[in-house]
Amino acid sequence: MEQVVNAIVLGSCYCLFAVGLSMTWGTLNVLNLAHGAVFMFSAFTCYVLTQKVGADIPLVGLVFIAMAVGAVMELALDLFAFRPIRKRAKTVQEAELSMLIASIGAAAIPVTIAQEVTLGSPFSITSQAITTTEFHIGSAYISAIEIAIVAVAVVLMVCLAVWIQRSRPGRGLRALAVDRETSGLMGISEGRLSALALVVSGITAGAAGVFLAVFLDSLTASSGQDLLLKAFAAVVLGGVGSIWGTMVGAYVLAGAETLVTATTSGTWTNAVSFALIIVVLLIMPSGLFSRRKVDRA
Amino acid sequence: MWCRQDLWKLVAGAGVAVGLAAVSTGAGIPGAGTAGASLPATIHLYSIQDDTGSGGFVGLLDQKGIDLAVKQINRSHLLGQAKLSISFADDASTPTQAANLATQAATAHYAAVIGPPISPTAVAVAPILSRANVPTVFTQAGGPGTLLNNYMFRLTPLQTSAVPSAYKWLQSKHVKTVADIYDSTYPTLADLGKKAQADGPKYGFKVTNMTAVLATQSDISSAVTKVLSSHPDAIDLDLAGTQNATAATEIKQGGFTGPIICEDGCGAGSLNGAGAAANGIVWASDWTAGAPFGPVSDTFTKQYKAAYAATPYNFAAEAYTTTYFIARALKAAGTTTAAKVDQAMIAEGKKGYEGVLGQHVTVVKGQMEAAPVLVQWQNGKAVAMANQNP
Span A252-277, average pLDDT: 84
Span A224-236, average pLDDT: 86
Span A134-154, average pLDDT: 85
- pLDDT at position B256: 94
- pLDDT at position B6: 54
Identity of the residue in B56, B219, B225 whose CB atom sits nearest the CB atom of A216: B219
Provide the 8-state DSSP code for B229.
Answer: T
- pLDDT at position A66: 95
C-alpha distance from A80 to closest chain B C-alpha (Å):
25
Give the amino acid at B258.
G
**Angle subtended at Cα A278 by Cα B220 and Cα A28, rounded to the nearest 5 degrees:** 85
C-alpha distance from A2 to closest chain B C-alpha (Å):
7
Q: Which residues of chain B have pLDDT under 50?
A: 1, 13-37
Q: Is B237 on the interface with A (CB under 8 A)?
A: no
- pLDDT at position B32: 38
- pLDDT at position A134: 76
Indicate the range of A24-38, A39-53, A264-278, B218-232 predicted with least confidence.
A264-278
- pLDDT at position B110: 94
User: Averaging pLDDT over each range in A103-107, A130-134, A222-226, B140-144, which range is the top one?
Assistant: A103-107
- Rg (C-alpha) for chain A, rounded Å, is 19
Q: Is B24 on the interface with A (CB under 8 A)?
A: no
How many other C-beta atoms lie within 10 A of the C-beta of residue A231?
29
Domains, chain B, in order of start with CATH, read 42-157+293-370 (3.40.50.2300), 160-285 (3.40.50.2300)
8 Å CB contact of B225 and A223: no
Q: Is B270 on the interface with A (CB under 8 A)?
A: yes
Q: Is B80 on the interface with A (CB under 8 A)?
A: no
pLDDT digits over B305-342, tens only? 999 998 999 999 999 999 999 999 999 999 999 999 99
- pLDDT at position B364: 92
Using an 8 Å CB-CB cutoff, list chain A residues near B273: 122-124, 126, 216-218
Rounded CA gap, B63 and B71, in Å? 12
Domain boundaries, chain A: 2-222
Using an 8 Å CB-CB cutoff, list chain B residues near A120: 51, 56-61
Provide the 8-state DSSP code for B389.
Answer: -
* Pick among A222, A229, A259 to test the B interface (most B CBs inside 10 A): A222
Give the pLDDT band (50/70/90) at residue A96. Answer: confident
B282-285/B373-378 β-pairing? antiparallel
- Length of chain A, in residues: 297
Using an 8 Å CB-CB cutoff, list chain B residues near A209: none
The overall longest dimension of chain B from CA atoms, in Å, is 100
Give the amino acid at B233.
D
Q: Is A184 on the interface with B (CB under 8 A)?
A: no
Q: What is the pTM of this model?
A: 0.76
Indicate the range of A17-21, A190-194, B89-93, B108-112 predicted with least confidence.
A190-194
Rounded CA gap, B207 and B227, in Å? 11
Q: Is A283 on the interface with B (CB under 8 A)?
A: no
Displacement of CA B70 from its chain's centroid (Å):
16
**Mean pLDDT of all residues in chain A?**
85
Residue by residue, DSSP assigns A223-270 as: HHHHHHHHHHHHHHHH-TT-HHHHHHHHHHHHHHHHHHHHHS-STTHH
Indicate the range of A14-18, A129-133, B71-75, B292-296 predicted with least confidence.
A129-133
How many other C-beta atoms lie within 10 A of the C-beta of residue A87?
9
Q: Is B382 on the interface with A (CB under 8 A)?
A: no
Q: Is B218 on the interface with A (CB under 8 A)?
A: yes
**Are the beta carbons of B220 and B213 closer than 8 angstroms?**
yes
How many other C-beta atoms lie within 10 A of the C-beta of residue B40?
23
8 Å CB contact of B223 and A227: no
